[in-house]
Structure 1
């Protein structure tokens, strides 16, 4: 993070704005909207900026900048097209330990002004650290369409109830759960539709009701996908943002973990071959124990929780103990990694079916039906197959699959570190041995791998 985001209270505080053109006028609008008193210095000033000065009860100095103009100001903005003047203003302000912004010159700034979505009192700021302001504005435009103006009304009404709700709930956890129930429920819909009286009555009814239900725990079994956080479902993201505690494994990418609520407790329960941070039975019981404490528990798994993710084992114990749970599917590694590698899992010319296979069963005994897997008209996708790669290839060949069958090993699929190794059944083990490959990997066997070279360039993620 290049800049620490803060929001400044500028109400009735004097701010220096040097410049009088269009750029300075845009900055003046923002300062005035925040309640600042403008001190504008420039030989020539636009009519709109003059009016803003009058409206804020500020000062208009129609002359060149002087160092004393910084006196009694809490921040400064240089919006001129004279580089040497901008450098002087920046140096003078920094000498007085005043925050200073020089438009389009990040090196001269001690703070930057972000793109703003204003739903006052809810304000959202978007910044690229001054590196790509047009991109920040494009992101702002997208957010503008997603966040209706009525959110401002929602925030205002919530403010009116803040003290009463704080008095009703002694601890912050209970207050947060109540607010989330209100702001994600019917009361919020009424507020945003302008039905304030009905919304206030509903909040009052909820506040006076038995609050035992607020401590009811729940488990969210969520598929985090193969790595790229943009592949998360909207429902997954919503639950990730409201969980109190998260249990996550090693296949959950850092990018996905960044989207978990920041103040949630995090417990690593990852497993790799012959190395378990926590035994599966203990994970299952921990989910039950945390839910019984009234926690909203996020069990976050890589890929899809019901495809080689032991999700079924975990919710069995939850169901036996009458613990409420939700299951959110995720994009499984086979779909995500194959798509990002330009390998369709089925294709009318090459494969009419696809099978997902793991050689890592509960008993550690592969016990696979190799004659069925050797069928040349199907695509095979092996999960957790890196360690047993050589045995998988030899077994398929021994049971009739051609040694020249195209194969691909995908390492860290859908992430920026994705690597695709293409070969055939007879040679892939030797190729991998020379490439220092590490899990997570996915092994695809079948004629569809031939399409990798021609289709991979059409995927912007490659």
Structure 2
């Protein structure tokens, strides 16, 4: 992973923007849309965007800013960037960022457009409803593992809250009223075809993305384990225990 994606709250935050022309104007619109306070080079700031066309001037500006400890994005110059700006799918409060580390803005844009075509127009309302229901979710599922498994099941393909299906404003409330009281305990055995993550079947990839814990042999490569949820417990063992734990567990072997 070449970069760690971060979402930074920009409301009222000063950001230096240097340059003129189409690229600078586009970055200004983006910053203002996020609520940033666009300022000049002489102002204190933690972030800066350099949209200067002249190569020498751009490099000099980046050097000055980085010398002050400011993180810099240099438009069309990925080798000078401390951070890059992704292609964004905005379904407020849902944000999806697509980045290539500066390798190809065109590729990032094309993928963003494909994702936008998949998402229902009202998916932002679903995100808001889930946020407003946090208290009710904790009351209904006091155990964190049960709560996570219930939400995962509802948001799965074909689930009550499948995010690729249009829902009305009462969908989350209806689901909570009828949701199961406890999560299913399940252990799924996956025999990997190869150590290459590109050889994962669609089913295996989806299960890795949903599992609460992953029991695996020592020879299962990190590239495959990294396809699991970041908060999934990873346990090296020759054989999973008789009681694997609540929720979804996987047994991975090569």
Q: TM-score normalised to the size of structure 2?
A: 0.84
Highest relative contact order (Cα 8 Å, sep 6+), 1 or 2?
2
d(CA) in 2 for partners of 1:244 and 1:186? Answer: 18
Residues 86-105 of structure 1 deviation map (CA, whole Å, 9 limit, x = unaligned): 22322332233222211122
User: Aligned partners of 1:252, 1:145: CA distance in 2, in Å?
Assistant: 35
What is the CA–CA distance in structure 2 between the aligned matches of 1:149 and 1:129, rounded to whole Å? 28
Structure 2 residue 173 is the aligned partner of structure 1 residue 201 = yes
- Aligned equivalents of 1:119, 1:167: Cα separation in 2: 28
Indicate which of 75, 78, 91 corresponds to 1:119. 91
Secondary structure of 2:70's counterpart equals: coil
Alignment counterpart, residue 124 of structure 2, candidates 152, 157, 162: 152
Q: For residues 172 and 2 of structure 2, what CA distance do their matches in structure 1 show?
A: 42
Map 1:193-342 onto structure 2 (within 5 A). Answer: 193-197=166-170, 199-206=171-178, 211=181, 213-214=182-183, 216-249=184-217, 252-269=220-237, 278=238, 283=239, 286=241, 288-290=242-244, 293-302=245-254
- Residue of structure 2 in register with 1:108 after alignment: 80
Larger radius of gyration: 1
Report the aligned-residue RMSD.
2.8
Residues 223, 236 of structure 1: 8 Å contact kept: no
Deviations 1:388-423 (A, max 9, x none): xxxxxxxxxxxxxxxxxxxxxxxxxxxxxxxxxxxx
Distance in structure 2 (CA, Å) of the matches to 1:205 and 1:75: 46
How has the CA–CA distance of structure 1 residues 225 and 165 changed in structure 2, closer, same or farther, with 3 Å as cutoff? same
**Which residue of structure 2 lines up, in the alignment, with residue 455 of structure 1?**
none
Q: How does 1:42-441 map to 2 (within 5 A)?
A: 67-68=41-42, 71-184=43-156, 186-189=159-162, 192-197=165-170, 199-206=171-178, 211=181, 213-214=182-183, 216-249=184-217, 252-269=220-237, 278=238, 283=239, 286=241, 288-290=242-244, 293-302=245-254
* Pair 1:298–1:136, CA change in 2 (3 A): same
1:220 deviates by 1.4
Q: Hey, what does 2:33 align to over in structure 1?
A: 33
* Per-residue deviation, 1:217: 0.9
In structure 2, do the counterparts of structure 1 residues 231 and 153 end up closer, same or farther at CA, with 3 Å as the change threshold? farther
Shift of 1:6: 1.3
In structure 2, the residue matched to 1:391 is none
* TM superposition shift of 1:227: 3.3
Q: Aligned in 2, Cα 1:125/1:189: closer, same or farther, shift over 3 Å?
A: closer
- Say if 1:218 and 1:297, in contact at 8 Å, map to a contact too: yes
Structure 2: state its 5+ residue gaps.
none
Where structure 1 has 5 or more consecutive residues not aligned to the other structure, the ranges are 42-66, 270-277, 303-462
**Separation (CA, whole Å) in 2 of partners of 1:7 and 1:162:** 21
Could you say if the C-alpha distance between residues 189 and 295 of structure 1 is closer, same or farther in structure 2, counting changes exceeding 3 Å?
A: closer
